[in-house]
Amino acid sequence: MNERCLDLEHFRHLLHALRQELLGLDATGEAAAQTVELDQTRVGRLSRMDALQAQAMSQASNRRRAETLRGVESALGRIERGDFGECQDCGEMINPRRLEFDPTVTLCINCAENQEA
């Protein structure tokens, strides 16, 4: 299997769509991650705890979204350089079905499993 087997325009389109989705979610996620006001006269203790938990979950989501966005940008760069779909460890081509599931992956399934072991 070589690079020519991959429909790079298809993956470029997927990555651009994912980037737009992430950027759209970024605006709503920022508002939810704002500092929680701890004024006891305005909000009860349980409500503050709920707000703090929601804030922490939003901050974690924002971090995951930023990490995914970095992966999208990196994958777009690999398309431009001509090494998209190539495993960064062994140099073999990544299965197109794996790329279809997540076009930001950088490792073939064997190398990914080896890193997890």
Q: Whole-angstrom Cα distance, residue 87 to residue 98? A: 12
* In a domain? residue 59: yes
User: Which two tokens mark 24?
Assistant: 């759209």
Question: Does 111 or 116 have the greater pLDDT score?
Answer: 111
The answer to the question of residue 112 being in a domain is: no
Asked if residue 89 is part of any domain, the answer here is no
Give the structural domain span for 38.
3-83
DSSP strands (E only) in 1-117: none
Mean of pLDDT over the chain: 85
The answer to whether the pTM exceeds 0.95 is no
Q: Is 106 left (phi over 0), alpha (psi -120 to 50) or beta?
A: alpha
With respect to residue 37, please indicate whether it lies within any of the assigned structural domains: yes
Q: For the chain, what is the domain count?
A: 1
**pLDDT band for position 1 (50/70/90)?**
very low
Asked if residue 12 belongs to a domain, the reply is yes
The Cα–Cα gap between 59 and 34 comes to 9
